[in-house]
Amino acid sequence: MNMILLGPPGAGKGTQAQRIVRSEGIVQLSTGDMLRAAIAAGSDIGRKAEAVMAEGKLVSDDIVVGIVAERFTMPDCANGFLLDGFPRTQAQAEALDEVLADAGLKIDFVVQIEVDEAQLIGRIGGRFSCPNCGAAYHDKFNRPEVDGVCDSCGGTEFTRRPDDTAEAMTVRLDAYNTETAPLLPYYKARGALVTVDGMAEIDDVTRQIMAVI
């Protein structure tokens, strides 16, 4: 099973992604992690990315798609993968569809976590995470079972994003609505899009997603 999670920043994609990969035995793929791994491995596409980044430029869609294509052929993706943070634009989505088709694969589900943006801005300030394993938490909605201890890895250090403010969140939402939201009709036309209520309790959101997949 291959799937994509879509939703604005702060919608809970990270939390739901962790639950899905544990339940379904698939691999969560983050473009940032894949980019760093490709550079560390010294692959052809990794060297291209490193050269571009060394010049202080943004990595092109072609390189990002190439890194994704290289990653999903690895053995740990045999049961499927969940894409986190990619694609962000329709051009990336179209390129992804092409490389997947070349490999005899496709995206089975695109899950949109739908939220009320005004409420989202109000709740964004409570987020924090474990830097060791990436587990996501919230002061009000998703605290660790034991205060100060990560449920996933037992870590005791947590971090908060400096851009988790109402002002920064408004800018990030504008970018999402301009660049990424157009992917919704793109995937709907392909019969892959399903929508869940992201304003529900975290466990309810998980149940909605599991009912679909």
**By mean pLDDT, which of 54-63, 177-186, 199-208 is the weakest?**
54-63
Helix, coil or strand: residue 129: strand
User: Which of the two residues, 107 and 84, has the higher pLDDT score?
Assistant: 107
Give dist(CA 107, CA 211) in Å, integer. Answer: 17
70 pLDDT band (50/70/90 cuts)?
confident
How far apart CA 32 and CA 84 sit, in angstroms, is: 10
Q: What is the mean pLDDT of residues 61-68?
A: 89
CA distances, 147 to each of 123, 135, 137, 142, 143 (Å): 20, 14, 11, 11, 7
Over residues 184-212, the pLDDT tens digits come to 999 999 999 999 999 999 999 999 999 98
Residues annotated as catalytic are: 13, 88, 127, 161, 172
What is the rounded CA–CA span in Å between residue 23 and residue 210? 9
Choose between 23 and 55: higher pLDDT.
Answer: 23
146 forms beta bridges with 149
Give me the mean pLDDT over the 153-176 stretch.
87
Predicted structure pTM score: 0.77
Higher-scoring residue by pLDDT: 58, 130: 130
Q: Which of 79, 83, 68, 67 is nearest to 28 (CA)?
A: 83
Q: Give the pLDDT of residue 125.
A: 72
